[in-house]
Copies of this chain bind each other. A is one copy, B any other.
């Protein structure tokens, strides 16, 4: 093994990124080195690539991008006992501290001292990536690498839907980017009786129908709230999965959900959001929950089982490119004419 590897690096506090040769990371006693087989691009990667306000406030170049991946272990640290060369793995990208209140009570996904791969630490858009042994997840050997890397965003969808009685429920999914699409699929295989998907993007509404949305609504053409009230006979939906980050869609969701309903918030608004808490939350007895990451590893067990059986996650993949084609990949993402994009290093 050479001492150098290929990596997609954010080098400067400015838009863009560069493919370059960098040192293969050295391992601490509890770390492993994984040879990357497949990666996928997250919206977060696009924000960093574009160098938006959030990225500027959070990222300190140089850093290797990427956090969704699958691959094989090629080296293990001196104290690693449970993992072995050749193990086929994916990884939980939130590297939690292990000692804060949240970590010690089973909520490491909202650790107060969390580092995130591809954000604070060198990521996986590279030939190799270094991972603490506690962050590894063993994949079923027959799971294709391009599906295995998707367990990170599918896990977001699984966590967002975890607090609802899925069987029989009606669900509104606002925002049909990849996580909205996975959420649609996860609801369908969990027994949801009807899924309403909302987006401006017709390309993505078409994908939502493939994933199991029975009714897709483009707000440019129809009022989502009115359509849902009509179609549910005045009941409203049981749950809203807010995956867009849009104030307008969240307001729609709060109007469309029935009294006592549940709203999962996963889409990240760019600015403050204005809500009519009195009429839309308090009098209705609504519960809103912020969804961050995945429960470690409860969500992974569920996700792993779903991608191995009922959920056809591959339907969301619309493009497969080489890591070197990253400029085209980010350009496609920017256009919105895509589901999930796989990058092969």
Contacts and interface: CB of A to CB of B under 8 A. Distances in A.
B277 A284 contact: no
Interface string A153-171: 0000010001001111100
Interface in A53-95: 79, 82
B102 A259 contact: yes
A115 interface: no
The complex is assembled from copies of this chain, and their number is 4
A310 B277 contact: no
A321 interface: no
A292 B287 contact: no
B104 A285 contact: no
Interface string A274-287: 11111001111111
A66 to B, nearest CB: 20
A236 to B, nearest CB: 9
Interface stretch (A141-149, A175-183, A186-194, A197-205): A186-194
A190 B162 contact: no
B101 A284 contact: no
Contacts of A193: 305-306, 308-310
Contact of A101 (B245, B282, B301): B301
A74 to B, nearest CB: 20
Interface stretch (A15-23, A33-41, A265-273): A265-273
Q: What size tier do the contact residues of chain A reach?
A: 35 or more
A332 interface: no
B305 A167 contact: yes
A99 B193 CA distance: 22
B306 A168 contact: yes
Contacts of A269: 277-278
Interface of A: 29, 79, 82, 98-99, 101-102, 104-107, 109-112, 134, 158, 162, 165-169, 186, 189-191, 193, 235, 245, 250, 258-260, 265-266, 268-270, 272-278, 281-292, 295-298, 300-306, 308-310
A281 B277 contact: no
A310 B82 CA distance: 41
Q: What 8 A-B pairs come out closest when comparing CB atoms?
A: A168-B305, A106-B106, A282-B290, A110-B285, A281-B290, A110-B259, A168-B302, A193-B305
A158 B274 CA distance: 28
Contacts of A250: 277
Contact of A283 (B158, B167, B258, B292): B292
B284 A278 contact: no
A156 B92 CA distance: 32
A111 B105 CA distance: 16
A192 to B, nearest CB: 9
Contacts of A190: 166-167, 190-191
Given A112-B259, A278-B268, A290 B291 contact: no
